[in-house]
Amino acid sequence: MSEKKKDELLNDHNHDGVDRRGFLKCMAWAGTGAFCVIKGGVLNSYSLSRVSEVSTADMMGELSFVQISDSHMGFNKPANPDVAGTLKAAVNKINGLSATPEFMLHTGDISHLSKPEEFDTVDQILKSAKPKDVFYVPGEHDVLNDDGRQFLERYGKGSKGGGWYSFDKKGVHFVGLVNVMNLKAGGLGTLGHDQLEWLEDDVKHLKHSTSIVVFAHIPLWSVYPEWGWGTDDSVQALAYLKKFGSVTVLNGHIHQTMQKVEGNVTFHTAASTAFPQPAPGKADSPGPMKVPAEQLKSVLGITDVNYIQGKHALAVVDSSLV
């Protein structure tokens, strides 16, 4: 096993078990392709190239899929005047993976303004990806003007209510949730009573040993409520998943990679394929962040996920578009 970079908890000034300096250092690496996780206060980071060396055998798992997010087709401001180009680069990255993923998850903000031509363009670009099946959940940019009618028509076949659904792949249970509808003033993302009832029922009879993957647009944990980066009623959803030994939550919305491990739940947010956003509190607002053109692809990315039977957690690896 080649050496792993590992940072111990050196500075715990806030007495909350988080070494912020170490975490920020890791987040800087995330832009150039790193996998970071805080586990019980200890931050572990693995440079991407080392992960692929180390875990080639591990990567030959039962199931692999890719998460992409926040393609914002139609966005054309200075932060990225060519979001179609960077989405194509993401597809090339996916097609270049050593093992072709079985399918893709898109965690929302497919379009920027819910325009038909924007959805059409994304569909067209994703046609050239090797994984042919794509599962979607909407972002708030996908349900403008029509309460999500267009999104449901395009991507919601077989879904319930506002577009939630579940499916199984090789024994792993996937749940797509919608937390961008009926948002209340001053609030965060919201799942709503009907969806929570459906979720409780959906997982009720599953064996505790079933691996669960939940995907939704807005983070299901409180990343930064001041910027709306959280979900009002996700605690209830997570309560229904408490009995499972392995739960992976995949989100988008914040346009940067972030990880949190809480007991049996690993939360992970993906980078955008369109434009980055500032780290929590590092700017006045969570708007598109401009970076020098030559650095843009290093702060956009895809997430490769592998399930190996018998392993507790899914192997989640982010890579940038560079």
Partner 1 sequence: MRRSVSIAGLAAALVLGTLGFGAVQRGYVANAQEKMSTMEVKIDNFSFGPVTLTVPVGTTVTWINRDDIPHTVVSTDDSKTFKSKVLDTDEKFSSTFSKAGTYPYFCSIHPKMTGKVIVQ
Stretch that binds partner 1, among 106-114, 153-161, 194-202, 295-303 (CB under 8 A): 106-114
In the set 161, 187, 192, 278, which binds partner 1 (CB under 8 A)? 187
Which residues inside 155-184 make contact with partner 1, applying CB under 8 A? 183-184
In angstroms, what CA-CA distances link 13 with 23, 25, 39, 44, 292? 13, 16, 18, 19, 33
**114 forms part of the interface with partner 1 (CB under 8 A):** yes
What is the smallest separation between the CB atom of 187 and partner 1, expressed in angstroms?
5
Distance from first CA to last CA of the chain, Å, rounded? 26
Phi-psi region for residue 236, left (φ > 0), alpha (ψ -120 to 50) or beta? Answer: alpha
**138 forms part of the interface with partner 1 (CB under 8 A):** no
What is the smallest separation between the CB atom of 164 and partner 1, expressed in angstroms?
20
What is the pairing mode between strands 133-136 and 63-68? unpaired
What is the smallest separation between the CB atom of 144 and partner 1, expressed in angstroms?
5
In the set 39, 77, 170, 312, which binds partner 1 (CB under 8 A)? 77
In angstroms, what CA-CA distances link 256 with 33, 165, 170, 251, 280? 12, 26, 29, 10, 10
Q: Which two tokens stand for residue 108?
A: 């929302």
- Taking only Cα atoms into account, the Rg of the chain, rounded to an integer number of angstroms, comes to 18
**137 forms part of the interface with partner 1 (CB under 8 A):** no
**53 forms part of the interface with partner 1 (CB under 8 A):** no
- What are the strands of the beta sheet with 34-39, ordered from one edge? 6-7, 42-47, 34-39
Q: Which residue's CB is nearer to partner 1, number 250 or number 274? A: 274
Stretch that binds partner 1, among 77-85, 119-127, 243-251, 257-265 (CB under 8 A): 77-85
What is the smallest separation between the CB atom of 301 and partner 1, expressed in angstroms?
21
Residues near partner 1, by CB under 8 A: 77-79, 112-114, 140-141, 144-145, 183-188, 226-228, 284-288
